[in-house]
């Protein structure tokens, strides 16, 4: 238990150990710890940034979706409008066509009737002449009485 030379020996050992620790142990371990702290801090900052980016992107996507929906609605509206317009146009065209067809039909009927009447009128003249011949039992000079016949035909 007496103080002896051991004290000096331990003092030397102490100094050597502390110096070794100061040169070769503390700096690399501290460097590793501090580097890792930096890495972790960077990672946390990056994740925070990523979360913000994600939120932003989500907002962006929502806005785009909304816009797209509005556009789609607009397009559908436009299409509906076009449809009714086209239907109306087609209906208008059809009516016009129908009217045209009816008109041409009328005109044809009119001209047919006119022709038929002329024919009839001619035939009536012939029939009248024939009837008159039969009634008079004599030949009527067609040339001499053509003025009467023409008057008759005109009256018919």
Partner 1 sequence: MAADTGSYIKHHLTNAQMCSTDTGIAFNKACENAGFMTLNIDTLLWSIVLGLIFLLTFRSVAKKATTGVPGKLQCAVELIVGFVDSSVKETFHGKNKMIAPLALTIFVWVLLMNAMDWVPVDLIPTIAGVIGGFMGVDSHDVYIKSVPTTDLNMTFALSLGVFFLVIYYSIKVKGFGGFMKELTLQPFNHWAFIPVNFILETVTLLARPLSLALRLFGNLYAGELIFILIATIGLFQLPVHFLWAAFHLLVIPLQAFIFMMLTIVYLSLAHEDH
Site size toward partner 1 (CB under 8 A) is 32
Among 11, 45, 70, 107, binds partner 1 (CB under 8 A): 11
Helix H or strand E encompassing 122: helix 26-136
Does position 46 interact with partner 1 (CB under 8 A)? The reply is no
Residue 96 near partner 1 by CB under 8 A? no
- The set of residues, in sequence order, having a beta carbon less than 8 Å from that of 132 and lying 6+ positions away, is 140
Q: H or E stretch including 94?
A: helix 26-136
Phi-psi region of 137 (alpha: psi -120 to 50; beta: other; left: phi over 0): left
Q: Which stretch binds partner 1 (CB under 8 A): 30-38, 66-74, 75-83, 100-108?
A: 30-38
Residue 33 binds partner 1, judged by CB under 8 A: yes
Q: Does 7 bind partner 1 (CB under 8 A)?
A: yes
Separation between Cα atoms, residue 125 and residue 64, nearest integer Å: 89
Q: Which residues form the interface with partner 1 (CB under 8 A)?
A: 1-11, 13-15, 17-18, 20-22, 24-33, 35-36, 39
């Amino acid at each position: 238990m007496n103080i002896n030379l051991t004290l000096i020996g331990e003092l030397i050992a102490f100094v050597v150990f502390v110096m070794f620790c100061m040169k070769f142990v503390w700096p690399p371990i501290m460097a590793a710890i501090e580097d890792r702290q930096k890495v972790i801090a960077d990672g946390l900052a990056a994740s925070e940034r990523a979360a913000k980016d994600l939120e932003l992107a989500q907002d962006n996507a929502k806005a785009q979706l909304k816009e797209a929906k509005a556009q789609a609605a607009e397009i559908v509206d436009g299409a509906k409008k076009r449809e009714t317009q086209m239907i109306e146009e087609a209906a208008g065209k059809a009516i016009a066509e129908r009217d045209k067809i009816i008109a041409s039909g009328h005109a044809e009927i009119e001209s047919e009737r006119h022709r038929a009447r002329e024919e009839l009128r001619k035939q009536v003249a012939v029939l009248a002449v024939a009837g008159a011949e039969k009634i008079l039992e004599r030949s009527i000079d067609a040339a001499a009485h053509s003025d009467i016949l023409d008057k008759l035909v005109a009256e018919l």
